[in-house]
Structure 1
C-alpha cells in the first residue's frame, strides 16, 4: 500500500492520511462523525457491491456523514434497488458506448477550437482555464441541452456546491435553491421547444409517469454536476502527472498506441475522486478484521484501493501495457459512474490532441506553475501553466 502521508501531491482529506497499511480503520470525519474507512482493493469492491451497505440509509437524517457535500435523497446516487435502477435506466442509453462514440467528432471540434485559442496566446497558457474547464462544461451542456450562454453561471454554482470547507452551509443552500430554480425554468423552456437532447428525453419519461418532478429536477442537476467537476479535475491531474515526471510526456508522444492504457493508469494513480460516498450498514457485516454494525457508516478510499500493491504491483508506476485488474476510480457495482465512457473519451481526445499539437509541452518555468484547489470534494487544480 502506498504511503500517502506527505508524499501524495496536493491536498487530501485528513482521514485519508490515517490509513497506513490497514484494510479497515475507524476515522473521524470533518462532519464530526465516526466512519469506517476501507482501504484495501478487495474489501473496497466488497463494500461497493454488497447490498447490505446502503446509499439510501446514508442520506437519511442523522446518518453518519463524511462532509456536507452529499447528494440529495432523491438523487439517483442516493438510491438503492428498484428506485436506483428505474432512474438509471432512463438515462443510461445516452451514455452507451455507441452514443458516446458518436459524440467524438463534436468533442474533437470543441477541443481543437480551444487549442487554437490557446496556441494564439502562446507560447504559454493556463491549461485549466484554456481547456480543462470549458471543454467538459460545453460537452455536458450540449448533451443535456443547456444553452451555452448559461455555462458560466452554472460553473460558479457547481464550484460552491463541491466546496467542502470554504463555503458555509447557508451559501450552499442558496446555491442549491438557485440551481433548482434554474433547472425548473429550463425544463419549462424545453417543454415549449423540445430538442434532440437528454433533458427533453427525461421530460418525456416524466410525462409517461416514469419519474417524479423532483426526481427530474435532481437528475438533471446530478448529471451536470457529477460529470463537470470530476472531468475538469481529471484532465488537469492527468496532464500534471505526465509533465511532472521526466520523460513521461515524451514517451507517450513517441508511442501513441499506448494512449488508451496510459489513460486507464492515469485514472488509477491520480483520480479526481479520492473517496466514495458514504454507505450505511443495514445489518452487521464482517469486513476484513472488523464487523461493521447496523447503522454504522462506511467510506471507500478509491485512492488507496487503486494503489493497493496486492492488486497492482508497483502501484505508482504507469503500466503502459495495461493491468489485469480494473481500477476503482469510476466506482464498482450498480453505482458505477454512468458517465465513465464520456470521461474516457474526453481524456483520450484531449491528451491525443495535446501530444500532436504541442509535442514540446512542459510545465511553465514561472514560479508555482500549478495551484491546487483546496476544500473540494474532488481533487483538482485551479491553474496549470504550461509552455511549449
Structure 2
C-alpha cells in the first residue's frame, strides 16, 4: 500500500475508503492492530469467503492468542464457546446449543419483541425530540434510548438474566469489545463477567426456569452435556453477541436511512420491503467489522499472497461486502438488490447461530421506528456522527435525531 492503515477516529468514522484501497492494492495485508496484535487482514469478497470456511485457519488457536489480554484464571471460561473452537469440539458444542436455541424458540419471541419495541418508542416519544425541542438541545438519542435497550432486553429475557443487571454486563462487554482498539481494563472486566456468570449459572441450576440458560444447563445429547467452563463461555457469547451486534445493526441502519430520505419514505410506505432492507443494510454497513481471529495452522495462500504458518488472520466482513467484483455499485444502498449473498453473518461452520434473532429484531425495529416517526431526521450533520472504535464492532456511538 502507498498509505499504511492508521487507526484514528477518522478511520473509525469512515473505514470504507481505506478498505477500498486495500482491496485494490493489498487484499491480503499485514496490519498491527491498536492493541499491538499483528494480523494478516483479508479484504476481498472471494478471499474472505474461502478463508471463513478454511479448516487450515484455527479458531481455537486464534482464541488462545486473543486470550493473552485476559487474566489467566478467566481465559479458559471465556474461550470454550462456538467461536473459539474447531471441529470436533465445535461440532459437539453447536449440536448441544442447537437443541435449545431453535428457530421455533426465536420466532416465539416475535410478539414480545414487538411489545418491548413499542414501549421503547413511547419512552422515546416522551423524552422529546420535536423540532422545537431540538432547537433547544432536546434531540432524542436513538442509540442509547432505543438501539441499545431493545436487544439487551430481548437477550436478558431469553437467557433469564435479571434486567437490572444489564448495566453491569453491558459495561463489561463494552470494555472487552474495545480491546481491539487498545482499550484498557480488559482483564478486570473479564474477571468480573466470569464471576457474575458463575453465580448466575449456579442460581439457574438450583432454581431452573423456562429460559435458555436453564435449558442449556439441562440439555443432554446421548449422554453428552456442557462442562462448567463451556456453560460459562456459551453464556458469555450469547450475552455479548446477542446484543452488541444488533445494537449496531439498528444504529447503522437508521444512520443509513436518515441520510437517504427517499429510501426512508419508500420503506415507511411499503413495509413489505423491510426484510430486503435489513439484508442490504447488513451488507452495506456490517455491524461486525472483522470476524473473530483465526490462526494459520500451515502456510495458506489467498490470491498471490502466502500467509505463514502460525500467523493470525483477520477477515474483514465490512470490506468484503463492498467488493465491486462481487456487488455492482457496492457503495449504494439499493432496496432492489436481488443478489445479496453478504457475509455479515459469516460463512461456513461458524455462520452466526443468532442470525434469525438479529433479523427478527431488526425487522421489528425498522418497521416500528419508521411507522412511529415518519419525519425523523438527524439532529446533526452526518459528518458530526461519531462511530465506535475497534475493528470488531462497527456502528455509531450516538445518533441524535429530531423525531
Give the TM-score, by structure 1 length.
Answer: 0.89
2:69–2:186 Cα contact (<8 Å) kept: no
In 2 relative to 1, CA 32–149 (structure 1 residues): closer, same or farther, beyond 3 Å? closer
In 2 relative to 1, CA 34–175 (structure 1 residues): closer, same or farther, beyond 3 Å? closer
Match status 1:192 vs 2:206 = yes
Which residue of 280, 292, 310 maps to 2:325? 310
Match status 1:56 vs 2:60 = yes
Higher mean Cα deviation, 118-127 or 224-233? 118-127
In the TM superposition, 1:17-96 aligns within 5 A as 19-21=22-24, 22-60=26-64, 63=65, 68=69, 72-96=78-102
Gaps of 5+ in 2: 131-138
Higher mean Cα deviation, 345-354 or 144-153? 144-153
Structure 2 match to 1:100: 106
Higher mean Cα deviation, 155-164 or 305-314? 155-164
Structure 1 match to 2:195: 181
Which residue of 154, 159, 171 maps to 1:144? 159
Q: SS at the partner of 1:383? A: coil
Deviation at 1:284, TM superposition (A): 2.5
Which residue of 184, 192, 205 maps to 2:219? 205
In 2 relative to 1, CA 198–133 (structure 1 residues): closer, same or farther, beyond 3 Å? same
Give the TM-score, by structure 2 length.
Answer: 0.86
Deviation at 1:292, TM superposition (A): 2.4
RMSD: 2.9
1:15–1:27 Cα contact (<8 Å) kept: no
Structure 2 match to 1:301: 316
Deviation at 1:46, TM superposition (A): 0.6
Q: SS at the partner of 1:371? A: coil
CA distance in 1, matches of 2:69, 2:14: 18
Q: How many pairs were matched up?
A: 381
Deviation at 1:51, TM superposition (A): 0.7
CA distance in 1, matches of 2:280, 2:382: 29
Deviation at 1:246, TM superposition (A): 3.7
In the TM superposition, 1:357-368 aligns within 5 A as 357-364=372-379
Gaps of 5+ in 1: none
Match status 1:327 vs 2:330 = no
Higher mean Cα deviation, 204-213 or 250-259? 204-213
Deviation at 1:28, TM superposition (A): 2.8
Which residue of 122, 126, 137 maps to 1:120? 126
Residues 77-112 of structure 1 show CA distances to partners (whole Å, capped at 9, x for unaligned) of: 110001111111222244433221111000000000
Residues 313-363 of structure 1 show CA distances to partners (whole Å, capped at 9, x for unaligned) of: 000122222332410111111111111111111110000011111111111
Higher mean Cα deviation, 250-259 or 133-142? 250-259
Which residue of 276, 286, 303 maps to 2:291? 276
In 2 relative to 1, CA 211–189 (structure 1 residues): closer, same or farther, beyond 3 Å? same
In 2 relative to 1, CA 366–380 (structure 1 residues): closer, same or farther, beyond 3 Å? closer
Deviation at 1:266, TM superposition (A): 0.4
Residues 104-131 of structure 1 show CA distances to partners (whole Å, capped at 9, x for unaligned) of: 0000000000001111222241111211
Deviation at 1:11, TM superposition (A): 5.6
Which residue of 216, 230, 254 maps to 1:215? 230
1:49–1:334 Cα contact (<8 Å) kept: yes
CA distance in 1, matches of 2:250, 2:259: 14
1:302–1:329 Cα contact (<8 Å) kept: yes
Higher mean Cα deviation, 87-96 or 189-198? 87-96
Higher mean Cα deviation, 305-314 or 149-158? 149-158
Match status 1:235 vs 2:250 = yes
CA distance in 2, matches of 1:256, 1:48: 33
In 2 relative to 1, CA 34–157 (structure 1 residues): closer, same or farther, beyond 3 Å? closer
Q: SS at the partner of 1:27? A: strand
Higher mean Cα deviation, 359-368 or 248-257? 359-368
